[in-house]
Chains A and B, each alone.
Chain A
Amino acid sequence: MTQTHSISAGQWTDNEKLIFRFVFIFFILQALPLSIDLFKLLFGFNWLYISYGNIFDLTRLSAKFIPGTDSLVNWLIVAVIALIGAAFWSRSKHKNANYNELYYWLRVVVRYRLAIGIIGYGFIKFFPMQAPFPSISNLNTNYGDFTNWKLFSMSLGIVPGYESFLGAVEILAGLLLFFRKTATVGAVIILVFTGNVFISNLAYEGGEYVYALYLISFALFVLWFDALRIYNLIALERPTQPNGFKPYFNGTLRPMRTAAKGFIIFFFVFFYGFKTYSGLRHNPYQFHKTKGLPAAAGIYNVSEFRINNKTLPYNPADPIRWKDVVFEKWATISIRSNRPVLIDSLNYERIFTNDQDRNYELAGTGGRHYYAYQLDTTNHSLVLANKNFHYKGEHLKFNYSRPDTATVILKGTNEKGDSLYVVLNRIEKKYPLKMSRRKALKL
C-alpha cells in the first residue's frame, strides 16, 4: 500500500484513530463473505454453467456465524471481534499507520461490497422476476387470506413497469458506487431507497430487514466521508474544501487495479445482467418450469363431488367438499375448500433451481391447498403431492378425463384413501387487472 500517496492529508486526533480502528475491522469483517453458507454455496455451483441464482446468492452473502436467517446477533459477534482487534491494534507497532490511506481503502471495500449487494437485487427487479404477476390461484384467493408480506409482493407484481423502475434505481445507485467521485450520490440514493425497503420489511413482516439494515450501514459509512462537507456547504453556506486525498497508483498496481475493477463490473453488471435477462425469458424463478396439463389453465367450479360414492351438495360451510380448483399453466393444482391451511411463510428472497423448492405461489397464503403434480398423458393419470412442508407426504391420485375442453373429471383417491369423483367445469373468469383500463368495466 505504500505505492499510493496522498496530496494533502487531514489530521487525525487520537480519538478519531481509536474509533477508526474499530470501524475498519468491523466493516472489513462485514464485507467479507465470512458466512457459514459460503462453502455450501460454492460447492453447489455448477461452474460450467453459472446461473443468475448462483450469482444472486453470492451478492447476498454477509458475515454469518449462526445458521438460519439473518440475525443481528451476527453483527454483535463482528462488533466484539472488532473491539478486540482494535485493542490489539492500538498496542501494536502499526498503530501509527497512514490513516488517510487506510480510510481510502476501507471505503473502496465498502463501496464495492455495497454496489454488488444492491445490484444483486436491482437486476431481479429490473427484469421483473422478484415479484411476478400473481398466479391464477393467487388471483382467486380472498384478500384476507394473505400475509402482509405476500400482499406486498403481489401488489408489486401487477405492475412490472414499476418494478423495473425500482430495479433501475438500484442498479444506478450501484453503478455510481463503483466510482470514488460519484459514490456519495449513490449512497444517498441507497439511503432513501433502502431506508424505505427497511421500513417496508418491518411493516409487512418481510424477512429482509436485517439485510436492508446491513446495506444501510454501508451506505451511511460511504456518505459519512462527505457528510460534513455537504452540511458545511449547503446548510451553513460556508466555503468548503474538497476531499484532499487522491490515490496514486504506479507500477504494477495500476494494471492490477484496472483488471480487478474491470472484472468486478463485467461479472456483476454485464454477465449477471445478461443472465437475469435470459432468466426472465426462459426460467423465471418464482414459479415452476415444468408444464402442466395442456390447455387446462384456469379456474374450475366443482359442479359434482362424490366421496366414497356419497354425493356432497353445494354447501359453503361444508368442511370437506371442494369449492373450486385451479390448474396453473405449470404443473400446479390448487384446491379451495374449508379445510384449514397451516401457512408456509418463507419471506426472504431465495432463488431456487428445482421446481419442488419453488414455493412462492403458496408462501404466505391460506384458503387453498397447493399440489405439484406428475402427469402421465398416456394413462391419463395425475399424482398430486402437497407442496406445503406442513403436509409433506400427502398424495392424491387421479385418473382424469376431459369430455370437452372446459371440463375435467377426476376419479381417484385423496390423501386418506377415500375414493373421490369430481367434476370440474371451467369458469370464464375476467379480471379487472387484465382488462383495458380505459373502459368502464362490468364485472
Chain B
Amino acid sequence: MSDLSKNNNQDTVTSVTPAKLKPWSALKKNGFRVLFIFLLAMCIPFSPNWYKNVFTLDWSRPHYRDLYDIARFQPGFLSLLGGQRNRDVTDSPAGNAEVKKAKKKLKRGNENGTGMPPKKSFLVDYADWGIALLIGLAGGIIWSILDRRRKSYYELYYWIRVVVRYRAGIGIIGFGFTKLFPTQMPYPSLGLLNSNFGDFTAQKIYWLSVGVVPWYQVFGGVVEILAGALLFFRKTTTFGAILLIAALGDITFVNYAYDGGVHVYAFYFVVLGLFLVADDIPKLYNLLILERYTVPFRVYPDLSKPAWKYTRMGLKALTFLIFFGIMTYTEVINFKYDPYKQPATAGVKNLRGNYRVTEFKINGQVIPYNPLDSTRWQEAAFENWTTLTFRVNRPVLIDPSNGGGSPMRDIQRTFEISGVAGGQRAFHYYADTIDKVLYLQDKNVMALRGGAKGAGEASEAEKSDEWISKTAWAHIGNEKEMIDSMAWSTRRDREFAEKPKVTKRNRMVLHYDTKDGSQVVLTGLNEAKDSVYIVLNRYERKYVLPKSTLNAGKY
C-alpha cells in the first residue's frame, strides 16, 4: 500500500516548460475565452454601491456589515442598465389583476427595504447570469479575432482559477461568519414562541428551525468558513470546492423549497465550485473508476521572482487579515451587543415577560375575554428589547420578507414579525421612563395597507415628528447611543445621521403603571385613536423547547 506514487522522480508538473505544452484545440480555445470572460463578469463587482462601500469604509471604526458587503455581491447588470432591481423587471406584463395588485403592494413594501416580492418564473431570476454569458460570448468573439495565433491559455487558466477561488472563498466566509457567531437565524422571541406553528410562512419555519439550535448554526458556519479557507490554498482547493458544492447545493434546494429568497446567490457558489472541481473530475474518474495509472497535470506560472512573491504574499495576508481577523472582531461585537436581526436596545427592565390580558376597556367600555373577539388583545409580551407584541383576532397583511438586511434602527429590524400570521402584532417602543410613557409604532409596515383605516391617514405622516414632545425625547435619549459603546461604528453614525424615510405606521401612545411588572396598567390611545385601558398580568410560562445556551445581544 505504500508505493502509491511510483514515478515520483519523473518531471513534476511545475517544471514543464511552456514550449512543451500541448496546444489546445480550436473548440477548447474558443470555449475558454468565453468562459474566462463570463467568470470575470460573475466575479468582479460592477455595482457603484459596492465601490462606494469600499472607498468610504472607516477602518478605524468598522462594522461587520462593512465587510459583509464587500464579500457579498453577485452580477447585477440589470440594475446597472436600467437602474432597476432585477426583481422588478420580472413584474412586467402577464399575470391576473389580483396577482398584480398584490405585487404592487409588495413593491411598496420595498421602500422600507423589508418587502420581498414572491418568486416568478424559474429562469428570470438568473437573467443577470444570462447577460454575463452574453458578455462572455461577445468578448470571446472579439478575443478570438485579435488573438488567433495563440496555441493555449494554460497560464490564464491558472489565473482565472485564482480569481474564482478567492471570489468564492471570500463570499462564503462572509456568509459563514454570521452563522459562526449565530446572528443570522435568531432564537425565537417570546412573541414567536407563543405563535402557532401553523401561523408561520414556510420561510419563517425554516429560519426558526435553525434558530432554535444555535450550536447547529455554529456548525454550519464552521463548514462554510472551512470550505472558504480551503479555497485559499492550491492543494486544498478541490476539497474546499466539494464541500462548497455540497453545502451550498443543499442551501439552494432549501431556498427553493421554503421560499427563502437567496436561491440565486447560493447557486452562484455551486457554479463557481463546479468550475473549480471540473478539471479534477476526469483525473479521479481515470484513477477510481477506470483504475488506471493517473498523472496529474496543471501549469503554474513562475512566481518565484521577488516582486511576484511579495505581491502574492501581501495580497494573501491582506485577505486573511480582513476576512479572518477584522471579520472575527466585528462579528463578535455584533453578536455580543448588536445582533443584526434583533433590536439592540434593551427594553424596560421590569416590564419584560409574558402577560395575560385580564382587563380590556376601549372608550370606557369593558370587553370581556373571548377568543373570537376582533378588537381585544388576547395576550401580550414585552421582549428583552424594545418591542411589545400582542395578538388580536383580526387579520393583517403579512410582511413576507425574511427580516434581513442590516438596518441600524431597531424599528426596522423585523425578524420578530415577518412571516407571522395569526393576528400577531409587534410594536417598537421608545420608553420615556421618567413620565412612564411608551411611544409605540407598528413594525409591520404592510399592516396599515390591509387595515380597515386604509388611506385616510395620509396627513399623519407629515406631522410625524411632533408625536413625541421635546421633553419626552430628552427623557428617552438618543437611540444611536443606547447600545454598548463597543458596538458604535461609523456606519451606525452615518445611518442615524440620515433623515429616516417617513413611513406610515400604526402608532400608540400608552402610559404604563407598574410596581414590579407583575401587573401593568396601560392607558392611552391605541392605533385607531380610541382610548384604551388595559390590565396585564405577568405569568411564568414554561416552554417545552429548551432555552438557548448561546444568546446574542446584551439586554
Interface residues of A, Cβ cutoff 8 Å to B:
10-12, 16, 134, 136, 138-148, 151-152, 154-155, 158-159, 161-162, 165, 181-182, 184-185, 188, 192, 199-200, 203-205, 226, 228-230, 232-243, 246, 301, 313-317, 323-324, 343, 364-367, 429-433, 437-443
A204, B216: Cβ atoms under 8 Å? yes
Report the separation of the CA atoms of residues A324 and B378 in the bound assembly, to the nearest whole angstrom.
14
A443, B5: Cβ atoms under 8 Å? no
Question: Smallest Cβ distance from A430 to chain B, in angstroms?
Answer: 8
Report the separation of the CA atoms of residues A432 and B517 in the bound assembly, to the nearest whole angstrom.
35
Report the separation of the CA atoms of residues A314 and B206 in the bound assembly, to the nearest whole angstrom.
34
B292: A residues at CB distance < 8 A = 242
Q: A315's contact among B2, B209, B259, B369, by CB below 8 Å, is which? A: B369
- B236 on interface, CB distance cutoff 8 Å: yes
Nearest residue, chain A, Cβ from B238: A234
What would 10 more interface pairs be, CB under 8 Å, given A242-B294, A432-B398?
A: A10-B3, A11-B2, A139-B196, A151-B212, A154-B205, A155-B205, A230-B288, A238-B8, A301-B372, A432-B202
Contact with A along B531-549 (1 / 0, CB 8 A): 0000000010101111000
Interface residues of B, Cβ cutoff 8 Å to A:
1-8, 10, 12-13, 98-99, 102, 105-106, 118-120, 188, 192-202, 205-206, 208-209, 212-213, 215-216, 219, 235-236, 238-239, 242-243, 246, 253-254, 256-259, 280, 283-284, 287-296, 298, 356-357, 368-372, 378-379, 395-398, 400, 419, 421-423, 446, 450, 539, 541, 543-546
Q: Identify the 8 closest CB pairs spanning chains A and B, nearest first.
A: A139-B198, A144-B193, A443-B421, A203-B216, A162-B257, A144-B543, A155-B209, A159-B257
Q: B194's contact among A16, A142, A235, A324, by CB below 8 Å, is which? A: A142
A146, B421: Cβ atoms under 8 Å? no
Report the separation of the CA atoms of residues A205 and B257 in the bound assembly, to the nearest whole angstrom.
24
Report the separation of the CA atoms of residues A298 and B5 in the bound assembly, to the nearest whole angstrom.
68
B546, A316: Cβ atoms under 8 Å? no
B356, A239: Cβ atoms under 8 Å? no
Report the separation of the CA atoms of residues A365 and B544 in the bound assembly, to the nearest whole angstrom.
7
B379: A residues at CB distance < 8 A = 316
B4: A residues at CB distance < 8 A = 228-229, 232, 240-241
B397, A239: Cβ atoms under 8 Å? no
25 A-B residue pairings within 8 Å (CB atoms): A11-B2, A142-B193, A142-B197, A144-B193, A144-B194, A145-B544, A159-B202, A162-B254, A203-B219, A230-B287, A238-B5, A239-B293, A240-B287, A314-B369, A316-B356, A323-B371, A365-B544, A432-B199, A433-B202, A439-B99, A439-B118, A440-B400, A443-B396, A443-B398, A443-B421
Question: Smallest Cβ distance from A160 to chain B, in angstroms?
Answer: 9
A134: B residues at CB distance < 8 A = 197-198
B205, A440: Cβ atoms under 8 Å? no
B106, A233: Cβ atoms under 8 Å? no
A229, B287: Cβ atoms under 8 Å? yes
B298, A237: Cβ atoms under 8 Å? yes
Q: B284's contact among A161, A199, A230, by CB below 8 Å, is which? A: A230
Known: A158-B202, A241-B6, A432-B199. A441 touches B291 (CB 8 A): no
Nearest residue, chain A, Cβ from B7: A239
A240: B residues at CB distance < 8 A = 4-5, 287, 293-296
Of the listed residues A138, A192, A228, A432, the one surrounded by the most CB atoms of chain B closer than 10 A to its CB is A432
B294, A233: Cβ atoms under 8 Å? yes
B396: A residues at CB distance < 8 A = 442-443
Report the separation of the CA atoms of residues A443 and B393 in the bound assembly, to the nearest whole angstrom.
9
Q: B283's contact among A182, A233, A431, by CB below 8 Å, is which? A: A233
A234, B1: Cβ atoms under 8 Å? no
B544, A147: Cβ atoms under 8 Å? yes
A181, B5: Cβ atoms under 8 Å? no
B188: A residues at CB distance < 8 A = 143-144
B213, A443: Cβ atoms under 8 Å? no
Report the separation of the CA atoms of residues A442 and B292 in the bound assembly, to the nearest whole angstrom.
63
Nearest residue, chain A, Cβ from B205: A155
Known: A161-B257, A200-B216. A192 touches B246 (CB 8 A): yes
A192: B residues at CB distance < 8 A = 243, 246
A241, B105: Cβ atoms under 8 Å? no
Report the separation of the CA atoms of residues A230 and B296 in the bound assembly, to the nearest whole angstrom.
11
Q: B118's contact among A139, A203, A437, by CB below 8 Å, is which? A: A437
Question: Smallest Cβ distance from B184 to chain A, in angstroms?
Answer: 15
Question: Smallest Cβ distance from A320 to chain B, in angstroms?
Answer: 16
Give the A-B pair count, Cβ closer than 8 A: 247
Question: Smallest Cβ distance from A306 to chain B, in angstroms?
Answer: 17
Nearest residue, chain B, Cβ from A184: B288
A432, B293: Cβ atoms under 8 Å? no
A440, B102: Cβ atoms under 8 Å? yes
A238: B residues at CB distance < 8 A = 5, 8, 12, 296
A145: B residues at CB distance < 8 A = 543-545
B6, A239: Cβ atoms under 8 Å? yes
Question: Smallest Cβ distance from A45 to chain B, in angstroms?
Answer: 36
Question: Smallest Cβ distance from B270 to chain A, in angstroms?
Answer: 14
Nearest residue, chain B, Cβ from A226: B288
A234: B residues at CB distance < 8 A = 238-239, 280, 283-284, 296
B1, A143: Cβ atoms under 8 Å? no
Question: Smallest Cβ distance from B535 to chain A, in angstroms?
Answer: 13
A301, B253: Cβ atoms under 8 Å? no
Question: Smallest Cβ distance from A113 to chain B, in angstroms?
Answer: 21
B284, A233: Cβ atoms under 8 Å? yes
A204, B213: Cβ atoms under 8 Å? yes
A143, B421: Cβ atoms under 8 Å? no
B209: A residues at CB distance < 8 A = 151-152, 155
Question: Smallest Cβ distance from B199 to chain A, in angstroms?
Answer: 7
Q: B196's contact among A11, A140, A203, A242, by CB below 8 Å, is which? A: A140
B205: A residues at CB distance < 8 A = 154-155, 158, 433
Known: A239-B296, A433-B201. A301 touches B236 (CB 8 A): no
A235, B235: Cβ atoms under 8 Å? yes
B3, A241: Cβ atoms under 8 Å? yes
Known: A134-B198, A236-B235. A10 touches B1 (CB 8 A): yes
Question: Smallest Cβ distance from A190 to chain B, in angstroms?
Answer: 12
Q: B291's contact among A146, A243, A317, by CB below 8 Å, is which? A: A243
B208: A residues at CB distance < 8 A = 143, 151, 155
Report the separation of the CA atoms of residues A199 and B220 in the bound assembly, to the nearest whole angstrom.
10
B544, A144: Cβ atoms under 8 Å? yes
Nearest residue, chain B, Cβ from A136: B198
Q: A159's contact among B213, B258, B446, by CB below 8 Å, is which? A: B258
Nearest residue, chain A, Cβ from B115: A440
A200: B residues at CB distance < 8 A = 216
Known: A237-B296, A301-B371, A439-B118. A181 touches B356 (CB 8 A): no
Nearest residue, chain A, Cβ from B235: A235
A317, B539: Cβ atoms under 8 Å? yes
A185, B356: Cβ atoms under 8 Å? no
B398, A239: Cβ atoms under 8 Å? no
Nearest residue, chain A, Cβ from B250: A196
B215, A203: Cβ atoms under 8 Å? yes
B371, A438: Cβ atoms under 8 Å? no
B378: A residues at CB distance < 8 A = 316
Nearest residue, chain B, Cβ from A242: B291
A199: B residues at CB distance < 8 A = 216, 219
B199, A431: Cβ atoms under 8 Å? yes
Q: B198's contact among A140, A148, A364, A442, by CB below 8 Å, is which? A: A140
B293, A241: Cβ atoms under 8 Å? yes
Report the separation of the CA atoms of residues A158 and B202 in the bound assembly, to the nearest whole angstrom.
7
Q: A441's contact among B197, B400, B543, by CB below 8 Å, is which? A: B400
B119: A residues at CB distance < 8 A = 437-438
Known: A143-B545, A200-B216. A443 touches B199 (CB 8 A): yes
Report the separation of the CA atoms of residues A393 and B272 in the bound assembly, to the nearest whole angstrom.
60
Report the separation of the CA atoms of residues A429 and B393 in the bound assembly, to the nearest whole angstrom.
11
Question: Smallest Cβ distance from B258 to chain A, in angstroms?
Answer: 6
B421: A residues at CB distance < 8 A = 430-432, 441, 443
Question: Smallest Cβ distance from A203 to chain B, in angstroms?
Answer: 3
A142: B residues at CB distance < 8 A = 193-197
Known: A155-B205, A242-B291, A366-B544. A143 touches B195 (CB 8 A): yes
